[in-house]
Amino acid sequence: MYVVNGFAEVEPFEILQPAEHRVPFVFNSPHSGRHYPLPFLAASRLDSNAIRRSEDAFVDDLFEPVVGLGAPLLRARFPRAFLDVNREPYELDPRMYDDRLPPYANSRSIRVAGGLGTIARVVGEAQEIYRGRLQVSEALDRIETIYKPYHQTLRRLLARTHVDFGFAVLIDCHSMPSAVRGAEGGARPDFILGDRYGTSCAQPLVDAAAEILTGLGYRVSRNKPYAGGFITEHYGRPAKGLHALQIEINRGLYMDEGATLPLPGFAALAADLRAFASEIVSIPDAALFPDTLAAE
């Protein structure tokens, strides 16, 4: 965790660029940010450990080796508790603010009802973040200065990839608590692959990802309880050659969830994820996307 005065002091996100973009893949880690603005911490009722409960801690580090394989990695520095770019831009909860939300705000989404809108109300197991109410102007400032530039950057990366290769694949990288609510039979898979129930990417891509991870010895499930959020849904347009796949990693594989510290298994998992990425980006395009290529 890093404490900063604000995001005028440090860039809110960064792109790790390969020396040469050699594969039609873009990796994204939107929830691994660990730079916490001091005013945000001062406004929170949570301590420095509890505030990190919704953070996909170290996921960007786990996937950093993809850069050496020729794929860019976009990663957030801002924390998810501060701003969630895996939401619509204006999923805002009116209960959080002293003044009235703009009429274009979506205050009725399921995610807002659960406290997990664009500006989250809670982290972890429904732990309230803020001591008091916010000003709407503060929420809109986060959206204008961080959310929108983040998505503009992601769109540019995908558009450039699509132009260079004829199609683009977004791998959206996340982590999940080791105790997964709603998992069938109480099972806790190591990975959950989300493709919005078959709508955000070509089926052979999901099948290949599952086969590779299973071959590495991991338990893999699909779409339940995580089918993919706004990013997967918004950017996944298989008919247009834009494919988006969400990957959720069980945090119990690599970190102490109470202390937010890496476990000894971190290095082994990072090596396996590099092997996973190396294999999936090397599968012939025609094998993964026969329909897309046939249409060209």
Six-digit token pair at 208? 């290949």
216-258 pLDDT, tens digit each: 999 999 999 999 999 999 999 999 999 999 999 999 999 999 9
- What pLDDT, on a 0 to 100 scale, did the predictor assign at position 292? 58
Q: Indicate the pTM of the whole model.
A: 0.94
Give the dihedral of Cα atoms 13, 260, 277, 183; nearest 10 deg.
-110
Instruction: Tell whether the torsion through CA atoms of 39, 42, 44 and 48 is positive or negative.
Output: positive
Query: Considering only CA atoms, which of 240, 250, 150 is closest in space to residue 192?
Result: 250
- What pLDDT, on a 0 to 100 scale, did the predictor assign at position 293? 54
42-99 pLDDT, tens digit each: 999 999 999 999 999 999 999 999 999 999 999 999 999 999 999 999 999 999 999 9
Amino acid at 239: A
pLDDT > 80? residue 287:
no
Amino acid at 174: H
Residues β-bridged to residue 191: 220, 249
CATH 3.30.70.2860 fits 2-87+140-283, yes or no: no
Amino acid at 213: L
Averaged over 129-152, what is the pLDDT?
A: 98
Domain boundaries, the chain: 2-87+140-283
Mean pLDDT rounded to a whole number for the chain: 94
Burial code (b: 16+ CB inside 10 Å, e: under 16) for 178-211 equals: eebeeeeeeeebbbbbbbbeeebbbeebbebbbe
Please tell me which residue, 296 or 245, carries the higher pLDDT value.
245
